[in-house]
């Protein structure tokens, strides 16, 4: 959600972590972060979450209801964790599109999946979530995992996802959220702003990118706010499931 603090004749600004930047600059700044971390992204995910991110993604796949023959769009698909599983589920008559705005992440995902022999029913598309280059009513399921918080205009992205879904299609948003317990929240803050940049420095030689990732999580809408945003975009039966004490939440909505 952008924060249009705008003086007369000036471009609106939005948040990039805890900084305010012109809206037109945010996408490029986010791209710099992911260009920097792409090569070690999977390793850092395992270290940051102690491997628990794999359980979060497994639950997302289970709740997606993807079946053979479905057409699935995996936005901000990165290194292809969800795409790999969806490819297996949709089978030879289905299709999965791994979309990412970042060329470095898309290349890492494509190379990884090709190395694993996942190719026949998968397409790779560089795409902006706010302006998805796909027809109306095209996909049975759309997912975005750990990507929505980096989008400048989240409302526009949600409406774009709604447009490309078939009636009755499902959107699943897996994202860091707000811990439900005060003690857990304090411990999580200590981890995020002390240990996370340190790990980033050691593993990727880039503490600043991981400091941004920690800040971007804090600036992301909480569970109820995102639920309301999805409903306002046109989704029905919107619900969410907290995982790991609310550190992560999975939101689900249906296109009417």
Q: In what order do the strands lie in the sheet with 139-145?
A: 122-126, 95-100, 71-75, 139-145, 165-176, 248-254, 236-243
Q: Which residues are annotated as a binding site for S-adenosyl-L-methionine?
A: 79, 100, 128-129
In a domain, 3, yes or no: no
pLDDT at 71 over 90: yes
Q: pLDDT by residue (tens digit) across 125-145? A: 999 999 999 999 999 999 999
Q: Which two tokens stand for residue 218?
A: 């804090």
Q: Strand 139-145 to strand 71-75: parallel, antiparallel, or no bridges (unpaired)?
A: parallel
Q: What is the mean pLDDT of residues 196-210?
A: 80
In a domain, 172, yes or no: yes
| Region of residue 4 (left: phi > 0; alpha: psi -120 to 50; beta: else) | beta
**pLDDT for res 254:** 98
Q: What is the mean pLDDT of residues 151-171?
A: 97
Q: What is the mean pLDDT of residues 78-88?
A: 94
Residue 41 vs residue 237, higher pLDDT: 237
In a domain, 26, yes or no: no
Q: What is the mean pLDDT of the chain?
A: 89
pLDDT at 161 over 60: yes
CATH number at residue 142: 3.40.50.150
Q: CA torsion, points 26, 29, 31, 32, in degrees to nearest 10?
A: 180
Q: What is the mean pLDDT of residues 7-28?
A: 78
In a domain, 25, yes or no: no
pLDDT band at residue 39 using 50, 70 and 90 as cut-offs: low
Q: Which residues are annotated as a binding site?
A: 79, 100, 128-129
pLDDT band at residue 31 using 50, 70 and 90 as cut-offs: low
Q: What is the mean pLDDT of residues 166-194?
A: 91
Q: Strand 19-22 to strand 13-16: parallel, antiparallel, or no bridges (unpaired)?
A: antiparallel
- Say which residue the tokens 């936005």 belong to: 75
| Nearest alpha-carbon partner for 77 in 57, 93, 91, 59 | 57
In a domain, 245, yes or no: yes
In a domain, 126, yes or no: yes
User: How many structural domains are present in the chain?
Assistant: 1
- For the ranges 13-27, 142-156, 173-187, the lowest mean pLDDT is seen at 13-27
In a domain, 230, yes or no: yes
In a domain, 19, yes or no: no
User: Domain range for residue 247?
Assistant: 37-179+215-254
Residue 79 vs residue 37, higher pLDDT: 79
Q: What is the mean pLDDT of residues 197-214?
A: 80
Centre a 10 Å sphere on the Cβ of residue 9 and count the other Cβ atoms it contains. 5
């Amino acid at each position: 959600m952008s924060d249009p603090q705008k003086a007369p004749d000036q471009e609106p600004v939005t948040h990039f972590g805890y900084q305010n930047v012109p809206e037109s600059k945010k996408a490029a700044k986010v791209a710099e972060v992911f260009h920097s971390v792409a090569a070690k992204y999977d390793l850092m995910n395992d270290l940051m979450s102690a491997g628990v991110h794999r359980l979060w993604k497994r639950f997302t796949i289970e709740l997606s209801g993807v079946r053979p023959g479905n057409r699935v769009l995996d936005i901000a698909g990165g290194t292809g964790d969800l795409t790999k599983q969806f490819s297996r589920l949709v089978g030879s008559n289905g299709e999965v599109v791994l979309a990412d705005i970042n060329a470095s992440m898309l290349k890492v995902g494509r190379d990884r999946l090709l190395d694993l022999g996942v190719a026949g029913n998968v397409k790779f598309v560089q795409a902006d979530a706010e302006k998805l280059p796909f027809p109306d009513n095209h996909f049975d399921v759309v997912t975005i995992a750990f990507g929505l918080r980096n989008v400048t205009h989240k409302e526009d992205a949600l409406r774009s996802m709604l447009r490309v879904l078939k009636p009755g299609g499902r959107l699943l948003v897996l994202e860091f959220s707000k811990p439900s317990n005060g003690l857990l929240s304090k411990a999580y803050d200590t981890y995020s702003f002390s240990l996370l940049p340190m790990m980033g420095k050691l593993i990727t030689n880039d503490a600043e990118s991981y400091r941004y990732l920690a800040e971007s999580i804090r600036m992301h809408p909480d569970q109820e706010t995102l639920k309301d945003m999805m409903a306002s975009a046109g989704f029905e039966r919107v619900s969410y499931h907290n995982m790991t004490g609310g550190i992560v939440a999975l939101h689900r909505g249906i296109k009417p």
